[in-house]
Amino acid sequence: MPDPVDAAPQVFLATRNAKKLGELRRILAPLVAGIEVLGLDDVAPYDEPVEDAPTFEGNALVKARAGVLATGLPSLADDSGICVDALNGMPGVLSARWSGQPKSDERNNALLLDQLADVPDERRGAHFACALAFAYPVGDGGVAEEVVTGEMHGRVARSLSGTGGFGYDVLFVPDGHDVTSAELTPEEKDAISHRGHALRAIAPLVVDVLAGL
């Protein structure tokens, strides 16, 4: 059994999404030597909270709080989605379930493209928004919390393109690019994405918290 003193620093990300876990690992790896990023499949099962808050920040916080209480580890959770100008900011917090249950990226993308079929190019502006919450143990049983946000602006394409990323990446063209997010390399996407901005903003606090454990 390894000596706890020599154990790798651990942080929990409340997701089963392998690509989200990969993003966090890529961004934190250069900052924290030997860091281990755990996801929901790496910890004992617990009752995951319902994401019924009206804001990205609210949903991220409820997931991060549940994570730290269930695992005892510093816990991160994000809520993100696409906000389309022509739809008055929707799907927004409903992005993952825009086409109903069960959740389906394929149906969500098809529905969004159908809703924008008659919208001209100059009115297809959109942005991805991300709220990232960090909850971590402090003192004698206390929990501290921090929330940061990030955005990536661009437009909705007229057809799907690319095989990378996930969610709406296949139809979102970021500002300054002529390809979709799904056609960027992971490193290119990390540099400009809403989640990349949020992760880099929270990373110094994560580093400080892990150093103090």
pLDDT of residue 6: 60
The two three-digit tokens of residue 67, written as one number: 């994570």
Cα dihedral 56, 58, 59, 64 in deg (nearest 10): 120
Token pair in block for residue 138: 């402090």
Q: For the chain, list the domains and their CATH numbers.
A: 4-211 (3.90.950.10)
Residue 78: active-site member: no
The residues, any chain, with a CB within 8 Å of residue 50's CB and separated by 6 or more, are none
- Give the end-to-end CA distance of the chain in Å, rounded to a whole number: 20
Establish whether 95 is an annotated binding residue. Answer: no
Give the pLDDT score at 25: 87
pLDDT at position 1, please?
39
167 has binding-site annotation? yes
Judge whether 15 is annotated as a binding position.
yes
- Residue 136 is labelled as binding a ligand: no
Reading the chain (213 residues) residue by residue, the pLDDT tens digits are 344 456 788 999 999 988 889 888 888 888 777 889 999 999 999 999 999 999 999 999 999 999 999 999 999 999 999 999 999 999 999 999 999 999 999 999 999 999 999 999 999 999 999 999 999 999 888 999 999 999 999 999 999 999 988 899 999 999 999 999 999 998 899 899 999 999 989 999 998 998 887
Residues 35 and 97: their CA atoms lie apart, in Å, by: 32
Catalytic residue among 79, 85, 140, 208: 79
pTM score: 0.90
Q: Is 195 annotated as a binding residue?
A: yes
pLDDT, residue 111, reads 98
